[in-house]
Structure 1
Amino acid sequence: MAMIIEKVYVSGMKFIDEAIESYCIQKSSKPSAVCEEIATYTRANIPQSQMLIGPMEASVLGSYIRAIRAKRILEFGTYTGYSALAMAENLPDDGELVSLDVNEETSKLARSFWDKSPDGKKIKNIVAPALESLKTLNGKFDFVFIDADKENYLAYLKASLERLSEGGMIALDNCLRNGKSIEEGFTDPGTEAIKECNLWIAQQSTLFSSLLPVRDGIFVVQRR
């Protein structure tokens, strides 16, 4: 096990052989050219570009969104807008995605890219603390994607469950924490919060959950 963890740290969120992952990406449906433009710009110009979800993760999220016929999505964590647009591309024309973030600069950048896409009109961005913003929103959400500050993951999850529609689904990103979630020696606040959230999910008899080793780990949650 230690050898596997070491490989993860060196390669950076690579839990699957690179050639296999590349093959899977090639054969899967991909986000639009605008999404690729966002990714290219972010990697070249924006700090912490590893926060981007990848095309494989975008394809997995898109599959779930389509499978449950989601019409309304809630996103915690906008960053530069890749994940929001990738998900919005799988909504019907009258669908809506609400993306919450506290960073005004990256949110403005995200909007500049969304405006290049016909699916950008589906996206509403609110720049304010997420839990405060959620209180101002009405109605239920069919799909929720949590990819924001790790220390608040459990709070975001619990708040999302209260607003989840019947048959809705929640996906939490980075739940393997680059392999640190399974190690005892890592006690930074983000990792501790992810471990707590993972454990809480696993202990809930009212939830059906699946932790997928896609990129940095996607925890998919539904009510039973």
Structure 2
Amino acid sequence: MGLISAEIEKYCIDHSTRPSADAKALEDHTRAGIHGSNMLIGEMEASVLTFLIKLGKVKNIVEFGTYTGYSALVMAEQIPADGTVTTIDINPATTAIAKEYWAKSAHGKKIQQILKPGLEAMKDLDGKYDLVFIDADKNNYSNYLDWALEHLSPNGFIVVDNTLWAGKILTPGLDKQTDSIIAHNKKARDLEGYTKTLLPIRDGMFLIQKN
């Protein structure tokens, strides 16, 4: 879902850093017929992630929500050879597609897959991370944010997808997912010691950086 016209979005994409051929092949495969392909991040979001990784000299990343592995691959391509993308999901079918395409990329070896619910997986992760990308079950967004805040490296980034939720965030009480995103957005807005911006890119990207 986009909040700007398809023509404007295409213009922006055409004037931004584009995904690699490997990432594009995975995107095309997903959009060609994988169930739930609307969950795939778009090229504009991929460009923003690429920009942040380069800007922040990001090395170690945690991602909540793998889907078919497009965003994990995009991020892995930008980090150094000794960097790691740890990505978490519960769906063996879509993560199998991810692993197939990661194996075709020279950067796939930087990706570690955890096949567990996010709340379980994060208990096993320690240390500090330079970027946490949240794009998983919406009802746990606030829980993932809490974990990210505890495990973020100095000057690290948190990026949260779908934070405008097709505009439904303007209608509190609509459903549980909407209210969970509204609660997350308020929590993020009220953080002290962080710089925040909520961008109307695609379905909303909330960017948070530790000061």
**Fold match, TM over 0.5?**
yes
- Could you state the TM-score of these two structures normalised by the residue count of structure 2? 0.96
For the residue of structure 2 that corresponds to 1:222, the secondary structure is strand
Conserved? CA contact 1:29–1:59, under 8 Å: yes
- Could you state the TM-score of these two structures normalised by the residue count of structure 1? 0.91
- Measured after TM superposition, the shift of residue 85 of structure 1 is 0.3
| 1:195 equivalent in alignment to 2:182 | yes
Match of 1:219 among 191, 206, 210: 206
Structure 2 distance, partners of 1:106, 1:208, is 34
Conserved? CA contact 1:89–1:119, under 8 Å: yes
Q: Counterparts of 1:146-161 in structure 2 under 5 Å?
A: 146-161=134-149
- Measured after TM superposition, the shift of residue 47 of structure 1 is 1.2
Conserved? CA contact 2:126–2:151, under 8 Å: no
**Consecutive unaligned residues in structure 1, runs of 5 or more:** 1-12
Deviates more, 1:19-28 or 1:77-86: 19-28
What does residue 44 of structure 1 align with? 32
Conserved? CA contact 2:65–2:136, under 8 Å: yes
Q: Counterparts of 1:158-197 in structure 2 under 5 Å?
A: 158-184=146-172, 187-197=174-184
Structure 2 distance, partners of 1:53, 1:161, is 23
Where do 4+ consecutive residues of structure 1 move more than 6 Å? none
For the residue of structure 2 that corresponds to 1:211, the secondary structure is strand
What does residue 18 of structure 2 align with? 30
**Consecutive unaligned residues in structure 2, runs of 5 or more:** none
Match of 1:98 among 68, 71, 86: 86
Q: Which amino acid aligns with 1:160?
A: A
Structure 2 distance, partners of 1:138, 1:176, is 30
- Measured after TM superposition, the shift of residue 152 of structure 1 is 0.2
- Measured after TM superposition, the shift of residue 134 of structure 1 is 1.9
Conserved? CA contact 1:31–1:89, under 8 Å: no
For the residue of structure 1 that corresponds to 2:100, the secondary structure is helix
Q: Percent identity?
A: 47
